[in-house]
Amino acid sequence: MPSTLSGLVSAVVSGLLFAAALPFVLTGEGEPADPGGWLELLAFVALVPLLVEVAWSNLRRALALGLVAGCVMFGASVYWIDLAVMRFGGFGLAKALPLLLGVVVYCALYWAAALGAVRTLRQRLRWPLYLALPLAWTASELARNHLLTGNPWCSLGHTLSRTPSLVQIASLGGVYLVAALLALVNGAVAEALIAWRRRPGALSRGRVLLGLGLALGGITGAAIYSAAWRAHLEEAAQGAPRLKVALVQGNIDQRIRNREEERRAFVLKAYLPLTESLAREGAQLVIWPEAAWPGPFEEVDFQARPELRRLLRAGSAHYLLSGTTRHATERGPRRRNVAWLVGPDLSLLGTHEKSRLLPFGEYVPLEGLLPLRQVVPGLGSFVPGAPIQPLRLPLEGGGEAGLGQLICYEAIFPEVSRGLVRDGADLLVNTSNDAWYGASSAPHQFLRIVTLRAVENGRFLVRAANTGVSAVVDPAGVILQQTRLGLAADEGDRIEAAGKLPPDHLVAEVPLLSIRTPYLVTGDLFAWLCVLGTLVGLGRAAAQARRGRTGRGVL
């Protein structure tokens, strides 16, 4: 059995290689260290050191190595959680660090489960790594998406989001198919290294060559499909109706946002003049970021808002505004995170209420059982809204467009976007406020996650974020336009208008597509088949182990 030191080193290396394949920030300017995305290629071999160690470990060691590697990866990738709770929640390091460790360890448990399953399937059933890993890893990522409210951040499939020449297979089986391809390649390379070290016989060499052939075939097939699918998307976009969309990025420091009532005039000054100007210049839809309106609404009557009445003279634009509403519940006052579609006459045309809330930020899971308050006290308690449907935007000349509104956290769940598109969304709209996380990796990671929603569903996606990154994304996941992070230098607790960056914006004419990707039809069927395959394999392994203990069979 390999030494403990070699196992730890391999687990740490795999965790760091995986983290490097995701967007990461090393400087205070908040720009990614690898803007071209070349480090994404590390994802094809990131798990190899870990797999070589796990292949001949006992079950306990395999679980431990998976947990260590997962902790390293998530620790290096989601460190920014502590930035929010320390800077805006008033937590010291002693309180913030356990929260971060809790999230990291929880997510790493899924790595441990996947590696434990891989070890069992390989040693009990002699399954090669390039079969066991795609099944078990995909099953674990599906579980992480759904269990305990779900947290699919930093999934293996996200690492290829900047590689449009391969990632179009997400339109077939979602982000899970992308993860399975990467797992196949990692498993094949690991099997080859193991065989090389053990001087294999002819049978083992054949199995190694089969794995490498499958890996090469998978990459080639993904490249061929991606090229053909992108050509199909370009053809579909040529004849599609277009919508001129404007995205407003207010660049409002979160310290100002946390004093929304006090700084109301300052916030509206960042949004309203630019909104009016964009409407006058011919924008058909002007979009504000998540919760941009300062302060909660008591009654949603935009025509009675004197601040907005200047927009009546701005033309025929529609507005997608965001804010919060107050609600009385048995547990006291609660809020809802809401987006409103508003007509040129300031009439309310539709409402989207956020249905997937951020755990421990907008609500506490099992609030009656866990002695915890919201991590960031200023957020207050939120409740989910009604089941979401596309917002219906009237078009000039007749007809309407379906807007698939995704408020912040909702965009990381593939099933939410798919449901909106199946219900008639022609355009995906993600509004967010990433100012909580400062000049960290979080905004860039989030942007790359939502690009996969465009690929899965064959839709353009526009993203308006309070301090960035706002973007226009085509259905192939290519970012056509994007802003920089609109964050001024840290001034401690000072909040002065002179020290803030001016608002930013993007304008684009986006085609409204109605094509149906295979993923829209099958959904997460591929991932569920991986779950089934993993469970069947583990069941066979358990039965074989029982036969061995009773003398009817020996492994």
Rounded CA gap, 149 and 413, in Å?
Answer: 11
107 catalytically annotated: no
Q: Are 260 and 291 in contact (CB under 8 A)?
A: no
Nearest to 254 by CA among 103, 98, 80, 410: 80
Contacts of 253 (CB under 8 A, 6+ apart): 435, 467, 487, 488, 495, 500
* Catalytic residue chosen out of the listed positions 53, 290, 410, 456: 290
* Pairing mode of beta strands 348-353, 391-394: unpaired
Inter-residue long-range contacts of 468-472, CB under 8 Å, 24+ positions, other chains counted? 468/249, 468/251, 468/434, 468/443, 468/504, 469/434, 469/443, 469/444, 470/247, 470/249, 470/289, 470/504, 470/505, 470/506, 471/447, 471/506, 472/245, 472/247, 472/506, 472/508, 472/510
Residue 515, burial from CB neighbour count under 10 angstroms (0-12, 13-18, 19+) = middle
Nearest Cα neighbor of 444 from 71, 153, 22 is 22
User: What single string gives the DSSP state of each residue in 328-378?
Assistant: EETTEEEEEEEEEEE-TT--EEEEEE--SPPBTTTB-TTTTTS----SSGG
What are the Cα distances from residue 476, in Å, to 15, 288, 443? 28, 24, 20
Give the number of other CB atoms < 10 A from CB of residue 377.
13
- 29 counts as catalytic: no
CA pair distance 168, 181, nearest whole angstrom? 12
Name residues whose C-beta falls within 8 Å of residue 411's C-beta, 6 or more positions apart in sequence: 417, 430, 432, 446, 449, 450, 453
290 catalytic per annotation: yes
Q: Which of 107, 354, 362, 530 is catalytic?
A: 354
Q: Which of 71, 107, 154, 408 is catalytic?
A: 408
Count CB neighbours of 241 within 10 A.
15
What is the C-alpha separation between 469 and 249, in angstroms, rounded?
9
In sequence order, the β-bridge partners of residue 482 are 471
Catalytic residues: 290, 354, 408
